[in-house]
Chains A and B, each alone.
Chain A
Amino acid sequence: MTRALAFVVLLPRNVCVAILTVYRAVISPLYGDVCRYYPSCSHYTLQAIQQHGVVRGVWLGTRRIARCHPWAEGGVDDVPARTHDRYRVTRSGFVVASSHGKG
């Protein structure tokens, strides 16, 4: 039951994760490595959506892309951390309910 609920709740962010994964595999390599930050903007947005959900994740990602321009300093810039043990990220990047079923 909780599992089904978690699937529904997590569906929007997993759809976004799927879109971003395809983008990163197919479109992004076409113009090579250009980002002045680590992780790159798309990787940052992917992590942000995984950890903070669609709304905050897209907002964080948009702010990051706005920060990334030729006059920016660049460097290491990670997603603000959020500690939760409700969800975990699978190897392919999708977010699922934690296996120990706390949530």
Chain B
Amino acid sequence: MDILSFFGTLLWPIKWVIEAILVAFHTLLTSVGLDPAAGITWVLSIVGLVLVVRAALIPIFVRQIKSQRRMLEVAPQLKKIQDKYKGKKDQFSREAMSRETMELYRKTGTNPLSSCLPLLLQMPIFFGLFSVLNDAQHSKVGVGLLNEQLSSQFANAEILGAPLRLAISTADGNATVIIIAAVMVVLMTASQFITQLQIMSKNQSAEMKASPMYRQQRILLYLLPLVFAFSGFTFPLGVMTYWLVSNFWTMGQQFLVIRNMPTPGSEAALAREARLAKRNQRKGIVEEDKTGGTVVVEEPKNVQRQQPLSKNRAKKQNKK
């Protein structure tokens, strides 16, 4: 068995589900009165697909946010580890530091990382959609609910005169396709930038900003446009639409989380406290402790231990 047909077999169930969701949205939209062959109907079907997939991934995201909130409890221990390896940049120290950090996360159940499962789950969906569109382009019938008529409609669906199945590489000089793909690449880059900058500049505590990981992330941010430019060149507009809408979802999700449940100790948390205080003032509420159970308001922690004073000294200090 060659490798392509092996992947084809693996993708079969995913393609089936993707087609089912697409066709379901398409039927729904047609029954509302949209033209079944129009580009907008198919674009909205792709948007529907994004909504279903991303909504299914919400529980994973919520879990990640929850453990990030609990990070506050282990912040002092984390600081201790960071201080221990401060200024040691050799490979062995950094390895030992990662080891200790991971062990701390495990012991306290505060691992803020989400594993690559969300990505792994989305990857086949992405390639499944790619292959559905690709098949439609070569007027092949889908594997499931996408019958001949629907598949040819999908293949010929156009957005502002650009067929959804084309990419820059297959556009054959079709200027509309190239322009739309370029606009999508720009939008994708912009949304990714906004999401990342939001997280990095607003939602990270000062300690995290000092870590080498933060700097690494910053560099990556400037590599992303290249990746998106490449994908705009390779992937058909339909796949790009999926990716773009998915990016917009991430941006909105991130915005809501940062606004309503910011990382304790970050800029966004201070902004939220200020906002709440202002609102309470406007409403004439004097009581400050109305933030509710879901929000963790950071208390200023006194890290330095207060030295016990002898009786005499305490007296002297009180006199001052």
Interface, chain A (partner B; CB < 8 A)? 29-38, 41, 65, 68-76
B98 touches A36 (CB 8 A): no
Known: A70-B63, A71-B63. A34 touches B103 (CB 8 A): no
Residue B41 lies at the interface, judged by CB distance under 8 Å to chain A: no
Contacts of B118 in A (CB 8 A): 70
Q: Which residue of B lies closest to A69 (CB)?
A: B117
Q: Within the assembled complex, what's the spacing in Å between the Cα atoms of A37 and B117? A: 13
Q: Which residue of B lies closest to A28 (CB)?
A: B116
B223 touches A30 (CB 8 A): yes
Contacts of A30 in B (CB 8 A): 220, 223-224, 227
A29-B223, A75-B105, A75-B106 known, 5 other contacts, Cβ within 8 Å = A29-B220, A30-B223, A32-B216, A73-B111, A74-B102
Contacts of A34 in B (CB 8 A): 113-116, 119
Interface SS of chain B: helix, strand, loop or mixed? Answer: helix
Residue B282 lies at the interface, judged by CB distance under 8 Å to chain A: no
Count chain B residues whose beta carbon lies closer than 8 angstroms to a beta carbon of A.
28
Give the shortest distance, in Å, between A58 (CB) and chain B (any CB).
15
B220 touches A36 (CB 8 A): no
Give 26 CB contacts A-B under 8 Å. A29-B223, A30-B224, A32-B217, A32-B220, A34-B114, A34-B116, A35-B113, A35-B116, A36-B105, A38-B99, A41-B116, A65-B116, A69-B115, A69-B117, A70-B60, A70-B117, A71-B63, A73-B109, A73-B111, A74-B105, A74-B106, A74-B113, A75-B102, A75-B105, A75-B106, A76-B102
Give the shortest distance, in Å, between B120 (CB) and chain A (any CB).
8
Give the shortest distance, in Å, between A4 (CB) and chain B (any CB).
30
Residue B113 contacts which of A33, A65, A71 (CB distance < 8 angstroms)?
Answer: A33
B102 touches A72 (CB 8 A): no
Known: A73-B106, A75-B106. A38 touches B98 (CB 8 A): yes
Residue B205 lies at the interface, judged by CB distance under 8 Å to chain A: no
Residues of chain B in range 62-106 having any CB-CB distance to chain A below 8 Å: 63-64, 98-99, 101-103, 105-106
Q: Within the assembled complex, what's the spacing in Å between the Cα atoms of A71 and B118? A: 12
Give the shortest distance, in Å, between A37 (CB) and chain B (any CB).
7
Give the shortest distance, in Å, between A3 (CB) and chain B (any CB).
29
Please name the 7 residue pairs, one residue from A and one from B, whose CB atoms are nearest each other, closest first.
Answer: A75-B106, A38-B102, A74-B111, A68-B115, A69-B117, A70-B60, A36-B115
